[in-house]
Structure 1
Amino acid sequence: MVVDIRGLVDAKQGTVDPRIYHDEEIYQQELKNVFARCWLFLAHDSQIPNPGDYVTTYMGEDPVLVVRKRDGSVGVFMNQCRHRGMRLCRADAGSAKSFSCSYHGWTYDLSGNLVGVPSEDDAYRNEINKAEWGAVKVPQVDNYRGFIFGTWDPSAPPLLDYIGDFRFYFDAFADRTEAGTELIGGAHRWVFPANWKFAAEQFCSDMYHAPISHASAVLALTPDDQDVDEEVFPMDGTKGRQFSSELGHGTGFFVESGDVLANIVGQKPADWFQGGNPEAIGRLGDARAERMRGAHATLFPNFSFLPGINTLRIWHPKGPNEMEVWAWTLVDKNAPADVREAQRIGTGRTFSVAGLFEQDDGENWSEIQRVLRGHIARRSSFNVQMGLGHEWDDDPDFPGKVNRVYCEMAARGFYKRWADMASGMSWDELMASVRKAVEVSG
């Protein structure tokens, strides 16, 4: 049965049907039409610096190997043997010359080509064509400023077109120095009994929850001589901006705030991120280098990050009612050692498996999912109307369609893009829809 997904999201009226968070048939369409077609974040260059280095990850629910090949390029292929479908590599990361299936011993090289079959001459009479039985390869792989992406869809637009107008905001996180960025401290991984879209949408659009959901954490981290409301999370929405891309990406941030970063991750990382690194100011300009504070962001569909706090994460779908979170800490490569260490500690203390803020978010998402087990709960539309009709596109500092920071404009953009893709719209139709929307707003 094919569900009419576009009828479940009304971006113009600002409503969402909660069936999108729990229905199994919708989830299967989502895997096919969103995760099998979108550009997905796979790994960072710093995770696989040398030939033979690899990490294992997922594209939707498909396991893949991301490998640095001998020529320095990156190959991505299914972490699955073509003989009986066994997982080829069960380690999270490492270095290898080849990958051998532990079931029957078929062996694949760093590009995913089948190079060894036990008893090939006897059992197969030398009749197996190994060239036809290599691992299934991801047809498009690209790298943007050290961030490795891939898509299963050979007809998907180039990565730069997919990121589109979000590049201005992504670069504030990814392009602060010529040296680039790197991940430190390893990965934190945990499971939430909740739909992945709750997390991706929140990081895309929702500053509104922060003064409420995170009140106790903010109180614990704020020095006694500061006013929590006014200096940490300004309640005046004009003191921040939210950006929404027609491509489904979004971000929000304060442009006037007190010590929001210093209180969350520590003074040294905050100073470095907000003006302490002259190179960043030269590359990005004052607006991005110093005035985007306490930011949240999602690159559609499931790649999110918090600039300044510098947590980077993927929301892996594990069925309609569960997600697995993979999170890292990102730093500028040329940041001083004491800044890097303070960033690692501060980010882990707040946004990790046991982080103060992370536990607040997880409890919210998990409780929503439990409520949606009810018949009536699943029939009641959700309100996504905040700031509807009040956006502008002529901000002198922040390009694109923007609004006040307390807003749900980017959530509406996220869900519209999700509904269009999940319903099976072609890339030509999707990009035409984007062009039309931009023309209308312009």
Structure 2
Amino acid sequence: MTKANSAPPDRPPLRAVRGEILYFTDDPAVAGAGAQAHFPDGLLLIRNGLVDAVGPSAELLPQLPAGVAVDDHRGKLILPGFIDTHVHYAQLDVIASPGEQLLSWLQKYTFPAEARFANQEYAEAEADVFCDELLRNGTTTALAFATVHPGSADALFAAARRRRMRMITGKVLMDRHCPDNLCDLGGTGETETRALIERWHGRDRLGYAVTPRFPATSSAAQMEAAGRLFAEYPGLFLQSHLAENREEVAWIARMHPGVRSYLDVFARFGQLGPRSVLAHCIWIDDEDRARMAEAGAAISFCPTSNLFLGSGLFDLARARAHGVRVGMGTDVGAGTSLSMLQTLGEAYKVLQLQGQKLGAEEAFYLATLGGARSLYLDACIGSLAPGREADFVVLDPAATPLIARRMAQCATLAERLFVFMTLGDDRAIHATYILGEAVWRR
């Protein structure tokens, strides 16, 4: 007979985490105050890596079986783990390299940095640093570019798997307008991509993204191959760049004179659909936005890199008006921080320059459930509702003296969230949890 207040022997043990809990059930810009679940003194019950229950501590604590330890974060804010929908793991070491715009940035910094990943030991060491930096910044899921080298994707998949992270990545496809040592020759890009898909896609919490850098660096044959692979494997992702920089847009127009817009290049090669995530999308029009929404494709909003490279200002209001899925991207190394808090703060400024407002609740939605919806993973991540994977971050409202001082003046949750995204950075991350287990603590 099972003893009272103990779990049946065939059920995994419970874990409990206490603190102020917040997650989103919908887009606050659409659903308003009803889009969030907030428990000022809440309890998360976690079983086998999934949220078993969530609610007020006063209701759930008396139901805890005897002997269940409670990880106590009272006074701190628990949110779903951040989701980075566009980042280059191979560019971590060129972050904060000055003085260039997009196309010259690629030549001066990106390509030399990525060439180093021909060395497998180097790739593996960089993948470990990158994953640890994500966790230190509260990011638990990322859609990341590797390099043209298959081993660079192997290294990142393996590093994420050791940490039980959700990671989506893929080797970059390039067969023209790039250095010889970064060029797929003789159809090797498709062959190597197919082998990586077979090896990693759907393994544990890993997903594969077909990764043409952008149409300028992939021939028509390679773009066709990318679209063919994207259609062939269920649940596959596709990631690329779209309309980041005016010079880039003009270059694509010269290379594809018969298309209406840059977006049409992706569409004609079968690369536009659910789980297509196109970064930047600054220099597009309403017809492009409507087509993206209809296709189910998503935009990754990358404010720090757009400002750093002088690329332009992303129009969130127009994307929202057309119903396009939008997530946040740090876009390191042109992006200036892996911190989603800093990225949200810069997003606020980008929109201010256009007379648009980014409320704090909407910002944190974009970094959590909005990112999950962009990836079609909202049944798994981006929320702390029962049944979701228990990836979450604990934010410290006393992380710095100035944050603590400013928090003391806040009367509402929205004000406190705004302080986190304006003054916060990696120092505000008190702990990061993967599948209910703390993997990083300050």
Into which bin does the TM-score normalised by the smaller protein fall?
under 0.3
Q: TM-score, normalised by structure 1?
A: 0.26
Q: State the TM-score, normalized to the length of structure 2.
A: 0.26
Task: Choose between structure 1 and 2: higher helix proportion.
Answer: 2
